Structure 1
């Protein structure tokens, strides 16, 4: 009986800690949501009224729609390039040259070792002039976004490949008459699908919120969602709160999609 009581008290304590943490994290989100729906909220504790006008104003703004579309386009192209380069590379590393994995782990840490501001200054000096003047164009963002997505995708795919017996699977496929490319497409890719989807959605949500590279390298010449948010910071706080919540709900929808696909 005493053990049962101790177990119940421990369960209650753990639940209270989890619920308390969730409540603490939810407070700023709920406050931003209420502020985005309020007509006016100044001297009083509660808003004067609620309205959807700020969301209607936001989603009827052609500049916002264009910035949102540019961000989505950049994310899709960057992730497509990342998949085309990283997936074959990690397969070659794990199947043919497994000793290179330690060097690859060191390589993928470089984007985190160099601050984005420092990288942006270097890219400005390198690509502002010369034979490839791509500063101010979306092409420079696609290249930088690839370096941002590289650590997330490589680490997630590496964990997935470590969870399967890659060499035995490939040997079995070869014994059954499959070529290496066909075995890779038919056997390896389905086994790493969950890791690939998780890395894609994580990278997408991170790239969609990227600001430093987009603001320094391109700015308003190819205005993305975060640059638009930065440029609209002097407008009404209700309007910017509606923008933040729209971004939050879109990211939440992507997370739900990732969960559904994983199942």
Structure 2
């Protein structure tokens, strides 16, 4: 019986913290659907005008599409490179996993502002001039997504016991690469999808590299949000809520897939 008051207290604390975190978002949402809201506790009226204006503006739609294209391009590059690398490391050179865990975290050791300055110097001119183009963002986002994907897929590989599966496939006459494609890869499907969705949510919110390396020459959603900060508060609130909803949707899908996998 003594555990019931404690459990109730814990629930109250959790829900109170949840309400504190949700309250600013709720206020932003109400402001985004209000006609005006100044001297009253609640908005004077409700409208979807700001969302209609946002989702019919070509500049916003273009920035939204460009953000998706850059993120998808970086994740495709990461998938093509990281899957064969992980297979080779875990199947042929498992002792290298410790070294890879250190190397894979190096992108987080250097602040994005410092990395951006170095990249501007390196790719600002010359034969590899890519500053202001989406290609430099794809490369930067690839390094950001790499640690997330490496850890998620590594955990998946450890869970399925890759060596036993490969030995069984070899006994049945499959070659190494045929076994990797037809046996190992299907077992990594959910882990790969979860890592891609979580990485996409993180990359979609990236601002420093996008602002410093390309700016308005290839305007992503975060750069657009920064450029529109001095516009109507209702319009900016609708933009923030739309962005938050999109990221929340991808995060929720990733969490559901991760739960199903467990």
| Shared fold, TM over 0.5 | yes
Matched with 2:32 is 36
Report the TM-score, using the length of structure 2 for normalisation.
Answer: 0.95
What is the 5 A alignment of 1:65-214? 65-214=61-210
Distance 1:256 1:151 in 2: 20
Structure 1, unpaired ranges of 5+: none
Report the TM-score, using the length of structure 1 for normalisation.
Answer: 0.94
Q: Which moved more, 1:190-199 or 1:231-240?
A: 190-199
Cα offset for 1:87? 0.9
User: How many residues are matched?
Assistant: 259
Query: What whole-Å deviation, never above 9, does each CA across 1:50-89 have from its counterpart, x for those lacking one?
Result: 1111101101110000000000111111111110001111
Contact kept in structure 1, 2:198 and 2:250, CA below 8 Å: no
The answer to whether residue 21 in structure 2 is matched with residue 16 in structure 1 is no
Distance 2:127 2:251 in 1: 41
Cα offset for 1:44? 2.2
Matched with 2:234 is 238
Distance 2:219 2:106 in 1: 27
The answer to whether residue 52 in structure 2 is matched with residue 48 in structure 1 is no
Matched with 2:216 is 220
Superposition CA RMSD, Å: 1.3
The answer to whether residue 62 in structure 2 is matched with residue 59 in structure 1 is no
Contact kept in structure 1, 2:198 and 2:254, CA below 8 Å: no
Out of 16, 23, 27, which is 1:27 matched to? 23
Distance 2:43 2:13 in 1: 31
Structure 2, unpaired ranges of 5+: none
